[in-house]
Amino acid sequence: MLSRNLVKRMYVATTEEETRVLDMNVLAESRLAELAKQKNGTSAGGFVAGLSAERIEVRPEGEIPEDVQGTEPDPVMSSAQVSEEAQKILEQAAVEAQAKITDAQVEAARIRKDAQRQAEEEKVQILEQAKLQGYEEGYANAQAEAERVRRDYAEKERQLEEHYQ
């Protein structure tokens, strides 16, 4: 059975001016772009609807706002003035850096001196302790030796008494 909706090209006669081609891809792309713009809230001009921006008052030129009155405006500086100001800042920074380096060197020297003094004090203390310990050990050894000699003489004396009796 043949479909009545089917139009066959060879049976239809049209001119190029009357011919209309429907490109669904282009229509779909344009529709998607419109939906994306609506979703992002942007309009055709690129503006976003719904921003809560601050209101800005426009004052006539020459009028000074109340919060700035009484202060002097900064004069426009020439490039030579800017260069001179930058040079002054660099010189000041160099002076401050040199002062910090000098302070650090003085502090390092003080720390070294304190460490040397502390090491010398510990050295003296250790030597005194070693000397005292040596005296004590020598005294103990001498006492032990004296006791041994006394026992030896006592033993010899006993033997001699036994021998002569």
Residue 24's pLDDT is 79
Query: Using CA atoms in the order 59, 60, 66, 70, what is the torsion angle rounded to 10 degrees?
Result: 140
Residue 77's pLDDT is 62
Residue 141's pLDDT is 94
Which one, of 34, 51, 52, lies nearest residue 43 by Cα?
A: 34
pTM listed for this prediction:
0.36
Residue 10's pLDDT is 62
| Per-residue buried b or exposed e for 31-61, using 16+ beta carbons within 10 Å of the residue's own CB | eeeeeeeeeeeeeeeeeeeeeeeeeeeeeee
Question: How many C-beta atoms lie closer than 10 Å to residue 66's C-beta?
Answer: 7
Residue 111's pLDDT is 95
Residue 65's pLDDT is 62
Read off φ and ψ for residue 2, nearest 5 degrees.
-95, 145
What is the chain's Cα-based Rg?
54
Tens of pLDDT, residue by residue, the chain (165 residues): 556 666 666 666 667 777 776 677 888 888 888 888 777 655 555 555 555 566 677 666 666 666 655 555 455 667 778 888 889 999 999 999 999 999 999 999 999 999 999 999 999 999 999 999 999 999 999 999 999 999 999 999 999 888 887
